[in-house]
Amino acid sequence: MTIQRCIWATNSDLEAEYHDREWGVPVHDERTLFEFLTLEGAQAGLSWRTVLTKRANYARVFLDYDLPRLAALDDDTLEQMLLDPGIVRNRLKVWSVRSNARAALALQASQGSLDSYLWSFVGGQPIVNRPQSSSEVPARTELSDRLSKDLRKRGFRFVGSTIIYAFMQAVGMVDDHMLGCHRYRSD
């Protein structure tokens, strides 16, 4: 019997595995939240598959998402990171990791944690949308607009509403598994 998945996860084994094990599963770990913020920003204009294939390289290059170390990176180190073929070598995206780490540290200081801040936007519980088809899955919502605007106000970059909606799906703040998908929640 063939396992049914959301349509986007049927193009490769890598995407299927990510879909089955991670996508839509609530994440509360600070490093993992920052990892997905970084990866979703890197994905802008590219396929998610491209970023998934480079995921291990991102963890290596970006110091396993250690916020204090990322925030302390100097310009020369960022320029060296741009030479690494294992990541998307876009200057604005690479440099945004340092500024986002600094913004995340400031947010942790003011809000207690990145986790509590982010999850406060959904009342601490995933929003389960139960789409019937891919046409019912939005690229952005009023909620992602609001979170994006607040993140930008706090100094984050590469956090537009579409990126943030994809982030919210990735970390389980929003569950958009479609009808027919083996991960679809009917409860």
Q: What gap in Å lies between CA 53 and CA 51, rounded to an integer?
A: 5
- Just list the catalytic residues: 18, 40, 48
Q: Could you write out the three-class secondary structure of 33-80?
A: HHHHHHHHHHHCCCCHHHHHHCHHHHHHHCHHHCHHHHHCCCHHHHHH
Q: What gap in Å lies between CA 137 and CA 7, rounded to an integer?
A: 11
Residue 100: closest CA among 129, 124, 122, 70: 70
